[in-house]
A and B are shown apart, each in its own frame.
Chain A
């Protein structure tokens, strides 16, 4: 089963775009639900993105790529 990691809709208000500033886990790494996996920056505010489930991480949006709320940035596979 695959679980998408998305930029949550409730992290900031408005339609501003963010940028992925860091992946805290390498592509292919194993993570547990609740682990911090990435950071997104909007307007000098850093937001931490957590893993929504256990699994092996496949990164689809790289560091320095622009993202919007709801953007899928990675997936987790059993």
Chain B
């Protein structure tokens, strides 16, 4: 059982992929219902799946791809945030933040949302001695975007969002999610996404060299005590407005 959103467990939770995705949806819904205005959840799945937005079902080769990935013990599941396929496994730590935003503020935009998660993530890495972390694209990475958490320009954390109107008012509820590869080599997870690409007959292939795992830079890090400090940093963070905004 995953902690209730309003209680925001600081420790790393270990649900299944399906339970973790459902818990993230529950965080967003709790903000929409007015139960809380800020909540977070860190989780690492006990099983594995290739997770993608539901629109990928419309791809011509999807049924065959689903069968082929299932035969590789990588079942396909769907998520509520945007982007493209991402592997979830015990090698991945996820952090989701749900927050209520007032439309018209600088805090009601996707760039703000990505910084709201990514800036404290970089700060947490700096506190562990990784001072080269920043936000930006990682060409050649799967599910690339403008706001990955990068180390030496390689993707450590992929980020995505979902926005929903708060019931009965113009405020918005934001769910911003980050998935960080901790264990395994990047090549192992890239191979799963490339297998999906091949199965849907898409010639695009992703590069292991565009990714990095946390173990590559912090081989001795004790995850269980470190993740609560990441959660605390993200919850407490205040984005400094850019000049002129």
Contact = CB atoms under 8 A, between A and B. Distances in A.
Interface of A: 10-14, 21-22, 34, 41-48, 50, 63-64
B104 interface: yes
B11 interface: no
A12 B109 contact: yes
Interface string B141-171: 0010110000000000001111111010000
B186 interface: no
Interface stretch (B52-60, B62-70, B120-128): B52-60
B82 A50 contact: no
Given A21-B53, A22-B55, A45 B113 contact: yes
B211 to A, nearest CB: 16
6 contacts: A13-B109, A21-B53, A34-B167, A44-B161, A45-B163, A63-B58
B111 interface: yes
How large, as a class, is the contact surface on chain B? Answer: 20 to 34
Contacts of A12: 109-110
Identify whether the interface residues of B are mostly helix, strand, loop, or mixed: mixed
A45 B160 contact: yes
B81 interface: yes
A45 B104 CA distance: 18
B80 interface: yes
Given A44-B83, A44-B143, A46-B160, 12 more contacts: A12-B109, A13-B110, A22-B54, A41-B53, A44-B145, A44-B159, A45-B113, A45-B162, A45-B163, A46-B80, A63-B55, A64-B58
A45 B108 contact: no
A44 B109 contact: no
A21 B163 contact: no
A44 B179 CA distance: 13
Contacts of B223: none
A1 to B, nearest CB: 23
A43 B145 CA distance: 7
A12 B163 CA distance: 10
B221 interface: no
B82 A45 contact: yes
> Top 10 A-B pairs ranked by shortest CB distance?
A45-B161, A44-B83, A44-B82, A13-B109, A41-B82, A44-B160, A45-B110, A46-B82, A21-B55, A46-B162
B103 interface: yes
B175 to A, nearest CB: 9
